[in-house]
Chain A
Amino acid sequence: MTFVLKRCAAFVVALIVQSAAIFVCLRILPGDLAMVVGGTSSTPEQVARIRQQLGLDQPYPVQYWNWLSGILHGDLGTAQLSGASVAGEIADRLQVTLPLALMGLAVALAIGLPLGVLSVTSRSARVRRGLQIAAIVAGSIPALWGGLLLIMLLGRGVGLLGVLPSQGFPVRGWHAFGRALSSLALPALSVGIIAGAEFMRYTRSALLEVRDSDYLAQAMACGMTRAQAVRTVGLRLAAPQIVSVAGLTFAGMLTGVIVVENLFALPGLATLLMDDLGNRDLLAVQSELLVLTAFFLFMGLVVDLVHHALDPRLKAAASGGADGADGVADGTDGARKEGTR
């Protein structure tokens, strides 16, 4: 319980630090929002007035405080060029990005888990080696190229099979459910296959780590075959690591899918951020960045808590000797690093 409280406190502290870091970063960046809003023909007085309206003439600590208290009241600010509220824009874009990331994760899991298990349990050395190489090759494909190949294979109008739309998202959003789903299918596939390759490598190394453990020996002594033992006991042992990687992969996808979103002309979250940065709309950007980082930190929190709940050895380690946690903690660190790459 203390672990949960401590972890939550760390989350809040990290969030505050991140917000300060974002604020400072964006004030260092060149570009004056007031000049952009005013346009090239504006007089210095007009620019000064706009700056005053936006609150940009106040000292930085005051600006920072206003921004934070606005957020705590649920006000993320207004995008200056479009006039829309930032919160609304983010919600709009999440309609695309969130399902895309979820579908991508589902594809990645559907590919990575079974193949990862197979690459450990298969009796044929050739199959094991082949799967390993396939994972390396699939992980080395540029996202852009993978998407293009999928379009050429399955895209409507272009591809050999021509079954799925390859451009855009229906204007009516999820009200046109079927069309929305089908327009996300190809992007999700191209994201998922590459992530799935990575996933398979993790599953494999996590399973290899526990393959020779006493747990599996015990299971086999009770009459399981090695493959059965790996599938039931091994997967359960590896579950904390696999969940960690899944969570972090999912968090990474929110911005990681930007190339694919661009390719398939989907209005996604990262694209919004990039447009606003291009417009130097720093007030909108800082809120968007904060939402994104809050999400990353939140996923980190969830992953750690789930990891803790799934691995009773960690609890024992926290109260007593640290023996049980060694291998597990080590593996997660590696996984975390790779997942956030």
Chain B
Amino acid sequence: MTGNTTSPSNRGFAPRAPRGRLRGARIVLSSLWHRADGAYALVVIGLWLAVSLVSLVWTPHPLLEASGRNAWAAPSAAHPMGTDGAGHDLLSWLMRGSLTELEVVVLVVLCTAVFGLLGIWASVGRRAGAGRGSRAWMVCVDTLIAVPTVLVAMLVSVPLGTSIAVIVVACTFAYSLSIVRVTRPVAQLAATSQYVEAARSYGVGEARVFFGHVVPAIAPTMAVQLSLSAGTAILAESGLTYLGIGIPAGVPSWGRSLANCAKLISVYPLTVIWPGLIITMVVVALNLLGDALRDCADPVVNADLRRDGAADDDRSASDMAAAESSTREQELTGERMPAQEGESHEPHRA
């Protein structure tokens, strides 16, 4: 990560109110588009989605078309990226692979979000509060976070075999723990704020307090983290698939193509360029998106968001709107929490 992470002192916590999420999303998107890195990220991710959709109905060659005579063919008009060892057209496999990749990334991000939220709830929920339970849970998180993703994947692969599930479980395990770790100070601040106290005094339930006050406060940080973990998930996929515990053989994915091409690099070195290049480009895009989102979704940085004061009642929300909403609400109420650096910043002891 570049730059400092979102500092808790910038966030205030206002009750959620129906606001123009769609408009907010549009503003965030357009300011993303006007930055060089944001535009690159949007273009690459857009292409990725488009290619995955297209590959559902059309690929230059059928996926199973293979001929021994054509194995390791050099790039030509018929096979723009050449063919692999079984004579499969590399371009077709990479196109369909982007669909598999999308599946992996969406699953990982969804599971990470769900388990991350559960973990945060465990650390700031009322019963956990500031008490012993929360501290014990954080010690658990700190210990578990030291377990390398590869180890988890290896252990999980014993019962699950070679499958997408291995990648999803291992990545979810690692990333949701780190989300808990990173967002906890902000969540803690929100959970102990006076809004929450007031809400509780009205008899508002735990769940509503959590989703109405805590989640909006951590949404920007989470959006950035999720975007980063999407990138890391792609890298993990390529590594685990190469080790033989990720995507099963015969299912097209970028990591699979890279692993196939890696075998005979000494004989056919140039085929290996494409899969790696695509992976790198997409991961860079996801990383840049994370960085750019952090700036664009933050009203302190993004003046356009500040100017957008009017509220309309369109509640349809996209991911980015969710990321944006809390900061905007906070901005509208003009609330700035003073830096409450208390227990949330105690030096880390595992």
Contact = CB atoms under 8 A, between A and B. Distances in A.
Contacts of B284: 136-137, 140
Nearest to B245: A274
Contacts of B172: none
A63 interface: no
A259 B1 contact: no
Contacts of B149: 341
Contacts of A142: 235, 238-239, 255, 258, 276, 279-280, 283
A337 B178 contact: yes
Interface stretch (A45-53, A80-88, A95-103, A290-298): A290-298
A145 B276 CA distance: 6
A30 B283 CA distance: 35
Interface residues of B, number: 57
Contact of B148 (A277, A314, A338, A340): A340
A31 interface: yes
A57 interface: no
Interface stretch (B82-90, B114-122, B264-272): B264-272
Nearest to B158: A29
A262 B2 contact: no
Interface in B146-180: 146-151, 154-155, 157-159, 174-175, 178
Contacts of A10: 349-350
Contacts of A7: 349
A205 B146 contact: no
B262 interface: yes
Interface residues of A, number: 71
B296 interface: no
Contact of B232 (A255, A330, A341): A341
A143 B239 contact: yes
Contacts of A300: 146, 350
A158 interface: yes
A252 B150 CA distance: 10
Interface in A283-303: 289, 292-293, 296-297, 300
Given A136-B287, A262-B242, A144 B349 contact: no
A67 B249 CA distance: 38
Interface stretch (B18-26, B95-103, B339-347): B339-347
Contacts of B50: none
Interface in A248-305: 251-252, 255-256, 258-259, 262-263, 270, 273-274, 277, 280, 289, 292-293, 296-297, 300, 304
B81 interface: no
B143 A326 contact: no
Contacts of A336: 145, 181, 348
B349 to A, nearest CB: 7
A25 B276 CA distance: 35
B5 interface: yes
Contacts of B243: 258-259, 262, 274
B146 A141 contact: no
Contacts of B255: 142
A334 B235 contact: no
A255 B151 contact: yes
A174 B155 CA distance: 32
B205 interface: no
B3 A205 contact: yes
Interface of B: 1-5, 37, 143, 145-151, 154-155, 157-159, 174-175, 178, 181-182, 185, 231-232, 235, 238-239, 242-243, 255, 258-259, 262, 265-266, 269, 272, 275-276, 279-280, 283-284, 287-288, 291, 341-342, 345-350
Interface of A: 6-7, 10, 14, 17-18, 25, 29-31, 132-133, 135-137, 139-145, 148-149, 151-152, 157-158, 201, 204-205, 208-209, 251-252, 255-256, 258-259, 262-263, 270, 273-274, 277, 280, 289, 292-293, 296-297, 300, 304, 314, 317, 322-323, 325-326, 328-334, 336-338, 340-341
Given A140-B284, A157-B266, A255-B151, 13 more contacts: A30-B158, A140-B235, A152-B272, A205-B2, A208-B3, A277-B154, A289-B151, A293-B146, A304-B348, A325-B345, A329-B345, A336-B181, A341-B175
19 contacts: A10-B350, A136-B284, A136-B287, A141-B276, A142-B276, A201-B1, A205-B4, A258-B243, A259-B243, A273-B154, A277-B154, A292-B151, A293-B147, A317-B347, A322-B342, A325-B346, A331-B4, A337-B178, A341-B175
A-B complex: 9 closest residue pairs judged by Cβ atoms:
A145-B276, A140-B283, A329-B347, A142-B238, A337-B178, A255-B148, A140-B284, A259-B239, A158-B266
